[in-house]
Amino acid sequence: MISPYNFKTAFCARFEYPLENFEKRVFWNAMHPEIKPLAFLINFLRPGFFRSDLDCIRSVAAAETKEEVRAIVNSLQFDPTFKQGFFRGLLGVRISGRRLTRLAGKVLISDR
């Protein structure tokens, strides 16, 4: 059973977004502002480019505490595909783990 209080429901309630827009809204909120134009272009030309970013967002959706989100985000440093390649690695065209964790901190409570 899905908890009624998790990152997805808390985020959508806090910012008044429909639940079906969760992934898209978190994706653009977790992206560094200076990278967004390039990310928009890449997303248009290669829609599957951000698959690992969206997988990460889906995995934190059910997190109930900031600590759970932080643990999931910290595991990204061990995922070789997350920072692989010129755009993702060198230019940083990917979601920011720090921004994602801060976003969760705005809507979730600490360990219960």
The one-letter amino acid at 77: Q
**pTM for the structure as a whole:** 0.87
- Using alpha carbons, select from 76, 79, 69 the residue that is nearest to residue 101: 69
Q: What is the pLDDT along the chain (112 residues), one digit of tens a residue?
A: 455 689 999 999 999 999 999 999 999 999 999 999 999 999 999 999 999 899 999 999 999 999 999 999 888 777 777 777 888 887 889 999 999 999 999 998 765 5
Task: Find out whether 42 and 56 touch, Cβ atoms under 8 Å.
Answer: no
The span from the CA of 15 to the CA of 28, in Å, is: 14
Reduced DSSP (H G I as helix, E B as strand, rest coil) percent helix, strand, coil of the chain, to 5: 70, 0, 30
Show the tokens assigned to 62: 């059910």
Residue found by looking up tokens 């360990």 in the block = 111
63 near 6, Cβ under 8 Å? yes
**Cα 70 from Cα 5, distance rounded (Å):** 17
